[in-house]
Amino acid sequence: MNKYKIIKMREKKRRESGQDGINYKSKQKLKKKLQELEEENNLLRLKYEMILNMLTQTTAEGEIQKTEIEKSKNKRK
């Protein structure tokens, strides 16, 4: 290869590479993966909140039933 082609190839590599040395395609892949992981994380947070709300509701209903049973037992005495 002549010097001109080598210089052009090096310039192209520099343009495609970021300051940290990762090329443009790798950065794009990482950005896409990051977005996918953030979306998955948001979905998991939503599911967690829903389950926590369901647990809270079930616990509250159980306490109400327990209180009603205790009242019923006390009335019988």
**From the CB of residue 48, how many other CB atoms can be counted at a distance below 10 Å?**
10
Q: For 52-70, what is each residue's pLDDT tens digit? A: 999 999 999 999 999 999 9
Structure tokens at 69: 């049973």
Give the tens place of pLDDT for each residue, 10-46.
Answer: 777 776 665 556 677 888 899 999 999 999 999 999 9
DSSP character for 17?
B
What residue type is assigned to position 41 of the chain? N
pLDDT of residue 47 exceeding 70, the answer is yes
Alpha helices for 1-77 (secondary structure H): 3-16, 24-76
The structural domains of the chain, with segments of one domain joined by +, span: 3-76
Round to whole Å and give the CA distance between 34 and 36: 5
Predicted model pTM: 0.59
